[in-house]
Amino acid sequence: MPRIPAAERRGVFIEAAVKVIATRGIDGATTRRIAEQAQAPLATLHYCYRTKEDLIADVYDFTARRFRDVVRGSAPHADRATTARRLLRRLMECYLESADFATTALELTGWARRRHEDRSIRVYDGAVEAMRTVLRGTASSPPAEAETIDEIAYAIATLAAGFALNWLAYADQSTAVKQMEITTSILDSWLADRLVSVPAAPG
């Protein structure tokens, strides 16, 4: 590996870890396999990360950042229903863009639960809180109650996770694209019932 800053090296190892975790699971993602995926000497990985646990902690942080960036990139420019629809689509697109990321995100959740840790909860809570912030900033009037914002954020997170499971189960991109439309229509129907008015045009 060429001489690059430590932060950049860590980024390479995190990306490699995501790929290895997606195929081997966390328990099978040894530092040797991650170093091989990164095309780097094992000693270089251990220079950046004292233990595998330290690297996995950064993978959790990377996942949390990715979700927050996706959500914040859907900053409101319209009413609450259109913004909610846009949030859902961006999350589904994030999963569709990288099956490795989708698989690793789910593996991180299962692994943390098996170890009775709350790291995956923090990742999830961070994404949901980012959604709440975006939804609060919409142009809709009157302002929604906190409970309504919570319900919309939960609905988006649940539909996106369900989409991810189907995408990973079938690994068929053309089918997944069609399922995005179905999933979005489910949110539209729920929003039409939950909110006072929902624009008919898709976001």
| pLDDT for res 180 | 96
pLDDT band at 143 (very low <50, low <70, confident <90, very high): low
| pLDDT for res 26 | 95
Q: Are 1-50 and 59-194 the same fold in CATH?
A: no
pLDDT tens for 82-107 read: 899 999 999 999 999 999 999 999 99
Q: Is it the case that residue 198 has pLDDT exceeding 70? A: no
39/59 Cα distance (integer angstroms): 18
Mean pLDDT of 182-189: 96
How much of the chain exceeds pLDDT 90, in percent? 70
59-194 maps to CATH 1.10.357: yes
* Average pLDDT score over the chain: 89
Closest CA to 187 of 87, 103, 118, 102: 87
Domain boundaries, the chain: 1-50, 59-194
pLDDT tens for 10-27 read: 999 999 999 999 999 999
Q: Which CATH number fits domain 1-50: 3.40.50.1370, 1.10.10.60, 3.40.1180.10, 2.40.33.20?
A: 1.10.10.60
Residue keyed to tokens 């900053």: 75
| pLDDT for res 21 | 97
| pLDDT for res 6 | 75
Mean pLDDT of 73-85: 82
Give 74-134 as a DSSP string. Answer: T--SS-HHHHHHHHHHHHHHHHHH-HHHHHHHHHHHHHHHHTT--HHHHHHHHHHHHHHHH
29/10 Cα distance (integer angstroms): 16
Q: Is it the case that residue 154 has pLDDT exceeding 80? A: yes
